[in-house]
């Protein structure tokens, strides 16, 4: 949460997206996007976790309540987990969480799961672009307080 907003930001609303990246694949993927100079909007706040399985659903809920307009789960492709089964656990957590936030009335786009490998820099950038456009289209999260800039 930041109260002191950049004034120029108020002209065009830019969403805030919390991105959970696993250390071995998706974080490296995002790095690859940077190294490859792939254009992507400055909407994401990346949180590196050792494994996508470590992304506790409570982190996601906290991110949503603290003003994120969307939360993305990312990790190694199924079968490629550095810890063998971490991403299966992530998938389960995501599925359960998805049902809960859907029941709560949050739009589908606000919680997403994407597998990104270390070499998929351009896919990563394209994905962030896509999500940013989706969130721009549906506007700020109803869970965010008006004063959370």
96, 119, 130, 137: which one binds other proteins (CB under 8 A): 96
Q: Does 109 bind other proteins (CB under 8 A)?
A: no
Q: Which residues, 63 to 82, sit near other proteins by CB under 8 A?
A: 65-66
Stretches 16-24, 25-33, 101-109, 128-136: which one binds other proteins (CB under 8 A)?
A: 101-109
> 3-state DSSP call for residue 34?
helix
Q: Does 142 bind other proteins (CB under 8 A)?
A: yes
CA angle, 42 as apex, 38 and 43 as ends, to 5°? 120
Q: Which residues, 24 to 63, sit near other proteins by CB under 8 A?
A: 56-58, 61-62
Q: Does 136 bind other proteins (CB under 8 A)?
A: no
31, 107, 109, 134: which one binds other proteins (CB under 8 A): 107
Q: Does 144 bind other proteins (CB under 8 A)?
A: yes
Instruction: Report the nearest approach of other proteins to the CB of residue 135 (Å).
Output: 15
Distance separating alpha carbons of residues 52 and 131, to the nearest angstrom? 19
Residues whose CB falls within 8 Å of the CB of residue 124, separated by 6 or more in sequence, listed in order: 26, 29, 30, 32, 33, 38, 40, 116
Distance separating alpha carbons of residues 103 and 62, to the nearest angstrom? 17
10, 99, 119, 130: which one binds other proteins (CB under 8 A): 99
Is the four-CA dihedral 120, 53, 135, 35 of positive or negative sign?
negative
Task: Please report, as ranges, the residues that interact with other proteins according to CB under 8 A.
Answer: 1-4, 56-58, 61-62, 65-66, 85, 88-89, 91-92, 96-97, 99-100, 103-107, 142-147
């Amino acid at each position: 949460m930041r109260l002191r907003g950049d004034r120029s930001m108020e002209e065009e609303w830019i969403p805030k997206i919390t991105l959970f990246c696993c250390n071995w694949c998706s974080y490296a993927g995002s790095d690859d996007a940077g190294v490859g100079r792939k254009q992507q909007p400055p909407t994401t706040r990346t949180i590196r976790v050792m494994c996508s399985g470590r992304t506790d659903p409570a982190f996601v809920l906290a991110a949503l309540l603290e003003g994120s307009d969307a939360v993305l789960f990312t990790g190694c492709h199924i079968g490629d987990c550095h810890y063998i089964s971490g991403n299966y656990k992530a998938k389960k957590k995501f599925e359960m969480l998805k049902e809960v936030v859907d029941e709560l009335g949050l739009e589908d786009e606000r919680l997403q799961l994407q597998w990104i490998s270390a070499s998929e820099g351009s896919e990563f950038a394209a994905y962030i672009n896509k999500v940013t456009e989706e969130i721009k289209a549906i506007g700020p999260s109803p869970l965010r307080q008006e004063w959370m800039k």
